[in-house]
Structure 1
């Protein structure tokens, strides 16, 4: 079982905006470019890069996606902060 993950994310206020971002990604848009353009999280300035973090460090819904969902595939998750488009780069 992985104890750390490295992920990128884009935080937005509305589900339809998150779905639109995933659609753009599927058409070949760069995650980092969309993060800089749309993300309301300070990490957006760094292309959405959250770096490596430990299991349990993030809010539960976000954590669940980062440690259970498919790697390198964009996923949408809702937390108290808003809607996240999450891309897990790797787990260790």
Structure 2
């Protein structure tokens, strides 16, 4: 995946996503490429997401002066592996967290979910995790990022089925909404990025999507 943060405007189409196996994927985001929830605002959850990330191949970073008050440019690349799912997958997870001694409430919520209520709505009302503000959404996660008990339950859960697990933080009701192939990131020089964009055969094989946030488009226009 080629990932640029706050990239300056270039010829249309600007800031792209190329979705093809073994072809770099270009995307732009105003967020770090580590799409988890903001548990850091809740000190007890610092260890919920593992601080150790897999070692990734990388080249040197090239930084540019801030543009319109934005942080420096960081351009990255990733390449998909051959396996579509299996061990090389990421899952999109939402959850609801209760205290360990709230077993009565846990059973009540399980019954309400079985009766058709939505986990995200219940998370907003009952979860003690900061992710409740986003309906319990944790984002895309891969193996090694969550505590072992949560990871075991999440990566073995059927899609869209709500399952429970217990960790040091309490009881979780979690739901896997989607899954996708994991991407490995490495840094790439902007010069190489521009060279690829001049290659007609590279562009022809790419599906081009503008993935900028609305505020980024506005910033580029002004």
Structure 1's consecutive aligned runs of 4 or more residues displaced over 6 angstroms after TM superposition are: none
Distance in 2, Cα, partners of 1:15 & 1:72: 23
Structural mapping, 1:22-33, within 5 Å:
22-33=110-121
Q: Cα distance, 1:31 vs. partner?
A: 1.5
Q: Cα distance, 1:54 vs. partner?
A: 1.2
Aligned to 1:56, which of 128, 136, 144?
A: 144
Q: Cα distance, 1:86 vs. partner?
A: 0.4
Distance in 2, Cα, partners of 1:8 & 1:84: 10
How large is the RMSD of aligned CA atoms in angstroms? 1.1
Structure 2, gaps ≥5 residues long: 1-85, 181-222
Corresponding residue pairs, total: 92
Structure (1 or 2) with the greater strand fraction: 1
Aligned residue in 2 for 1:4: 90
Aligned residue in 2 for 1:20: 108
Which has the larger Rg?
2
Normalising by structure 1, report the TM-score.
Answer: 0.92
Structure 1, gaps ≥5 residues long: none
Are the aligned partners of 2:157 and 2:175 in contact in 1 as well (CA < 8 Å)? no
Normalising by structure 2, report the TM-score.
Answer: 0.40
Are the aligned partners of 2:92 and 2:139 in contact in 1 as well (CA < 8 Å)? yes
Aligned to 1:91, which of 176, 179, 188?
A: 179
Distance in 2, Cα, partners of 1:89 & 1:19: 22
Structure (1 or 2) with the greater helix fraction: 1
